[in-house]
Amino acid sequence: MIRIICGGKKSVAWCQEACEEYEKRLRKPFEISWEFLEEEKLARKLADWPFSGREYVICCDERGLNISSDEFSQRLEKAFSSSREVVILIGGAYGFSDLARERADFVWSFSKLVFPHMIARLIVCEQIYRASQIATGGPYHH
């Protein structure tokens, strides 16, 4: 299971529909659960979160490392094989604190471009689906 925690408002219809299209194709362990928090609540949650090592925490942030889809798939597979829950954090308009980025296991940048958080949600869903196809040898990623 992959838990995605998002800052900002719940997805608008077009984003939710697009994400659901990828989600319905996913199978364990790539299934997704969502948690939407206002940015201030997300910041408080991350400040108090123990970052215990039971989770593999990925923080989506423009200051992170840009990796290939194959590398993303390998990171997910490694976390699953270590029995760690994958948690992906998508910030709102103001991103994440230095502390949250430092405490995450991986800080992931999609590109040198900055995207609105709704588009970031869609990119994450598509990349999770692509990762699942890479892991299972599916035809989607060629």
Per-residue pLDDT reduced to its tens digit, 3-39: 999 998 877 899 999 999 999 999 999 999 999 999 8
In the numeric block, the tokens 């039971």 are attached to: 54
Global pTM reads: 0.94
Maximum Cα–Cα distance for the chain, whole Å? 41
More confident residue, 93 or 71: 71
* Complete domains list, the chain, with CATH: 2-136 (3.40.1280.10)
- What is the edge-to-edge ordering of all strands in the sheet holding 85-90? 32-37, 2-7, 85-90, 55-65, 106-108
- Using one digit for the tens of pLDDT, what is the confidence trace for 55-77? 999 999 999 999 999 999 999 99
